[in-house]
C-alpha cells in the first residue's frame, strides 16, 4: 500500500471535533511518521499538512507530546517544527528549541528576537549555537540566558559577545565563573576575566574552603614562595619564562588538580604567547608526579638558587 493512502485516511479523521480525538489522530500520524525510515519531499509535505492542521486542536498536551517526540528527528517537517518552536506555551516549544536540528540559524535568530525569555533560555541550551545566534541571545537575554550562554561550551562567542558577557560578569559571579573556565575567549577578554579571578569557593560549592582562591598565577606565586622560600619575583619568572617542567613541579607541589594545572598553562600562554608542547605528555608527567616528590624538588630549587 502506498504511503499516502493511510495519510489520506487519517486526513478524514481530522473532521472529528473533540480534543481527545484530535490528540489520538495526531498521535497516530506521529506514529506513522516515526516508523517511516525515509520520507520524500511529497510525503514530508503530507505529514506537515496533517500535523499542522491537527496540532492546534489537539490542545497543549497534544502539542507537547508531539514536540517531545519529533524534536530530535533530523528529517522532521520544517513547517510543524517551526510552528512548535514559536508556540507560546514554553512546554511545547522548549524540546524543539533545545534539540531540533531542523531549525536554521535564521529561524533561531527570528525566534530569539521575537519570543519570550523562556524561549531564549531554551535556545541557549542547544548543544551547538552559531555566533550570530549567541549575539542575539546576549543582546536580548536576561540573566538566566546570559548564564546559560556563558556556561555552554557549544555556544560560539563573537568578540563582541565575549566582551558584553565580560562586562556583565562584573555584577554576576556565575557569568564570571563560566567565562573563567572557557578557553575560547579573545585574548584581551581572557586577560580581563583572568584579572578578576575566579569566584570564591563558598559560592561554587567547593568542599575545601582552605584552597587558595582561583589558582591565578599571582596566587600561585605567593603560595609557592611561602612553600619554597624563594622570592616572589623569582617564582614569577620561573612560571612565565622557564621550562614547563618547572611549572609542573610548582603546581604539583601546591597539589593543584589536573584541570587547574591546565588552567595555569592557559594563563601562562596569555602572558608568553602561544607555545608548542605536547599537552598529553605534559599531563601524564603532571598526573604521575607525587606531590611529596614535587615538594622535595621545590626545596631543591631554593638550594639551587642559594648555591647560584
Pair 193, 226 in one domain: no
End-to-end CA distance of the chain: 90
pLDDT of residue 210: 41
Q: Which domain holds residue 109?
A: 104-197
Residue 93 has phi, psi (to 5 degrees) of -75, -35
> Among 43, 67, 95, where does a domain finish?
95
C-alpha closest to that of 196 among 220, 159, 167: 167
C-alpha closest to that of 145 among 116, 170, 105: 116
**Per residue in 174-200, is it b (16+ CB within 10 Å) or e — as a string?**
bbbbbbbebeebbeebbebbbebebbe
Q: Say whether pLDDT at 97 is over 90.
A: yes
What's the whole-number mean pLDDT along residues 80-94? 95
Dihedral of the CA atoms 135, 136, 140, 142 (nearest 10)? -60
243-270: pLDDT as tens digits:
888 899 999 998 888 888 888 888 787 7
For residue 114, the SS3 value is helix
Pair 148, 226 in one domain: no
Q: Say whether pLDDT at 211 is over 70.
A: no
Pair 227, 272 in one domain: yes
In a domain, 120, yes or no: yes
Dig out the grid coordinates for 207 from the structure.
568542599
What's the whole-number mean pLDDT along residues 40-57? 79
Q: Say whether pLDDT at 45 is over 90.
A: no
What's the whole-number mean pLDDT along residues 213-230? 78
What's the whole-number mean pLDDT along residues 98-121? 96
Query: Which of the two residues, 190 and 118, has the higher pLDDT score?
Result: 118
In a domain, 3, yes or no: yes
In a domain, 175, yes or no: yes
158 confidence band (pLDDT: 50, 70, 90): very high
Amino acid at each position: 500500500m502506498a504511503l499516502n493512502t493511510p495519510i489520506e485516511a487519517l486526513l478524514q479523521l481530522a473532521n472529528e471535533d473533540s480534543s481527545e480525538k484530535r490528540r489520538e489522530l495526531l498521535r497516530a500520524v506521529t506514529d506513522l511518521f516515526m516508523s517511516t525510515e525515509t520520507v520524500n519531499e511529497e510525503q514530508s509535505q503530507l505529514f506537515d499538512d496533517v500535523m499542522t492542521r491537527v496540532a492546534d486542536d489537539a490542545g497543549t498536551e497534544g502539542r507537547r507530546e508531539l514536540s517531545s517526540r519529533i524534536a530530535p528527528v533530523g528529517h522532521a517537517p520544517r513547517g510543524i517544527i517551526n510552528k512548535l518552536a514559536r508556540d507560546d506555551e514554553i512546554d511545547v516549544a522548549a524540546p524543539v528549541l533545545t534539540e531540533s536540528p531542523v531549525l536554521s540559524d535564521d529561524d533561531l535568530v527570528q525566534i530569539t528576537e521575537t519570543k519570550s525569555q523562556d524561549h531564549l533560555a531554551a535556545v541557549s541550551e542547544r548543544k551547538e549555537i552559531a555566533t550570530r545566534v549567541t549575539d542575539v541571545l546576549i543582546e536580548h537575554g536576561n540573566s538566566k540566558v546570559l548564564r546559560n550562554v556563558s556556561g555552554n561550551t557549544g555556544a560560539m562567542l563573537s568578540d563582541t559577545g565575549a566582551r558584553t558577557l565580560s562586562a556583565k560578569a562584573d555584577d554576576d559571579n556565575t557569568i564570571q565563573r563560566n567565562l573563567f573556565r572557557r578557553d575560547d575567549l579573545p585574548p584581551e577578554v581572557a586577560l580581563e576575566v583572568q584579572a578578576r579571578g575566579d569566584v570564591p569557593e563558598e559560592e561554587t560549592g567547593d568542599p575545601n574552603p582552605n584552597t587558595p582562591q582561583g589558582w591565578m598565577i599571582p596566587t600561585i606565586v605567593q603560595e609557592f614562595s611561602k612553600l619554597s622560600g624563594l622570592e616572589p619575583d623569582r617564582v614569577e619568572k620561573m612560571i612565565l619564562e622557564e621550562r614547563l617542567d618547572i611549572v609542573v613541579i610548582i603546581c604539583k607541589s601546591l597539589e593543584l588538580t589536573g584541570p587547574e594545572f591546565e588552567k595555569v598553562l592557559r594563563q601562562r600562554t596569555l602572558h608568553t604567547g602561544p607555545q608548542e608542547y605536547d599537552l598529553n605528555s605534559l599531563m601524564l608527567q603532571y598526573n604521575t608526579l607525587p606531590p611529596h616528590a614535587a615538594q622535595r624538588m621545590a626545596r631543591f630549587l631554593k638550594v639551587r638558587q642559594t648555591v647560584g
